[in-house]
């Protein structure tokens, strides 16, 4: 190859390499994130990891740490993590507990908790009221599952402390599945992957269906709720608003990707990708597709809804989940995701 041709070839190779890496920014931040293993909550995060959206923002997510909602809330309050993915109730509980949390992005605009009952009781438990004297499970006190179970029972005229055996099971989907399968609980305030799994396997049936518009309005008082959010603390926002903006933008791109991608394609991509396949261990592709299809209607644009906040805050106070309300301005910082009605 002549000298001029070699120079052109080398230059082309350099440009090609630059273009191939142009989607990823230099790593400026490394962080871990806390949350609960809930596909309604984590799907935008998984999509953002698989598509490299955090990398494009210069953020390396080194680890996602999952546990029960209450335990993860305590960890974020103790500043072990600066960011997390949480159900609505955790923000007012954290603020009332002295930790000034802020929701900065909405992840899911429908409430996610259904009430499932083990299949052997099909002829006996047809309504929530029929659970009197039975064992009703939830994750842990102070978690979203606990709030939803309180709403279901109290709205049906049952006192969780007197009229049922109210049993905490933690946030491990395997433990929850086993408790339903073995009859350790008669009913459970359930989210994904448990809901779809026990329904498809014929182990349980749902008497409150979060994915049903009618049930959602009846039990949650609205067809939309500010259910799941990306949260941080006010000290993080004050210290590094640039970081907060990067994390919000990357996660929002993941949210948009989930909304625009078919459940079939999404399942294949996330179950095969080295960054996300571990979160689907033991799950079959048809099950994952059905689960994604069931929950995808709740993924919105990421804006923080005042109406959705008010619906959730009203439930939390009315059913004695929090001792007093907080305001929307205390709850949310809308400068990155925006506010919506």
Q: Where do you find CATH 3.40.190.10 in the chain?
A: 24-111+225-340, 114-209
Flag whether pLDDT at 235 surpasses 60. yes
Q: Are the C-beta atoms of 230 and 213 separated by less than 8 Å?
A: no
Distance CA 324, CA 88 (A): 14
Mean pLDDT for 75-104 is 96
Query: Per residue in 244-275, pLDDT tens?
Result: 999 999 999 999 999 999 999 999 999 999 99
The predicted model scores a pTM of 0.87
Q: How confident is the model at residue 24 (pLDDT cuts 50, 70, 90)?
A: low
Q: Are 226 and 311 in contact (CB under 8 A)?
A: yes
CATH number of this structure's domain 24-111+225-340: 3.40.190.10
- The encoded tokens of residue 288 equal 């994952």
Q: What is the mean pLDDT of the chain?
A: 91
Instruction: Give the pLDDT score at 153.
Output: 97
For residue 222, give both structure tokens: 């609205």
pLDDT tens-digit series, residues 128-142:
999 999 999 999 998
Among residues 278, 327, 292, the alpha carbon closest in space to that of 306 is found at 327
Tell me the mean pLDDT in the region 299-306: 96
Under the banding of pLDDT at 50, 70 and 90, the label for residue 9 is very low
- Sequence-distant (≥ 6) Cβ neighbours of residue 274 within 8 angstroms: none
Please give the CATH superfamily to which domain 114-209 belongs: Periplasmic binding protein-like II (3.40.190.10)
């Amino acid at each position: 190859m002549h000298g001029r041709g070699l120079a052109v070839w080398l230059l082309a190779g350099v440009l090609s390499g630059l273009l191939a890496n142009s989607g990823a920014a230099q790593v400026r931040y490394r962080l871990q994130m806390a949350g609960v293993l809930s596909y309604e909550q984590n799907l935008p995060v998984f999509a953002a990891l698989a598509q490299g959206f955090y990398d494009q923002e210069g953020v390396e997510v080194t680890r996602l740490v999952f546990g029960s909602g209450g335990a993860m809330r305590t960890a974020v309050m103790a500043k072990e993590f600066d960011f997390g993915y949480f159900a609505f109730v955790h923000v007012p509980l954290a603020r009332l507990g002295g930790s000034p949390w802020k929701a900065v992005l909405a992840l899911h605009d429908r409430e996610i908790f259904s009430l499932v009952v083990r299949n052997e009781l099909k002829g006996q438990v047809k309504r929530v009221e029929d659970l009197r004297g039975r064992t009703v499970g939830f994750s842990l006190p102070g978690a979203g599952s606990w709030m939803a179970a309180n709403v279901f029972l109290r709205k049906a005229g049952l006192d969780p402390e007197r009229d049922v055996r109210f049993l905490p099971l933690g946030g491990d989907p395997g433990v929850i599945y086993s408790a339903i399968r073995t009859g350790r609980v008669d009913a459970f305030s359930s989210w994904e992957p448990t809901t779809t799994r026990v329904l498809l396997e014929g182990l349980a049936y749902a008497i409150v269906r979060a994915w049903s518009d009618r049930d959602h309005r009846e039990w949650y008082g609205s067809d939309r709720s500010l259910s799941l959010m990306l949260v941080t603390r006010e000290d993080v926002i004050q210290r590094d608003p640039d970081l907060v903006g990067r994390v919000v933008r990357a996660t929002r791109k993941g949210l948009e990707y989930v909304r625009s991608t078919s459940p079939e394609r999404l399942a294949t991509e996330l179950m095969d990708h080295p960054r996300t396949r571990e979160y689907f261990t033991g799950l079959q592709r048809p099950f994952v597709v059905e689960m994604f299809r069931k929950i995808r209607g709740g993924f919105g644009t990421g804006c923080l809804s005042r109406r959705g906040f008010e619906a959730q805050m009203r439930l939390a106070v009315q059913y004695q989940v929090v001792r007093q309300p907080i305001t929307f301005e205390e709850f949310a910082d809308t400068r990155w995701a925006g506010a919506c009605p």
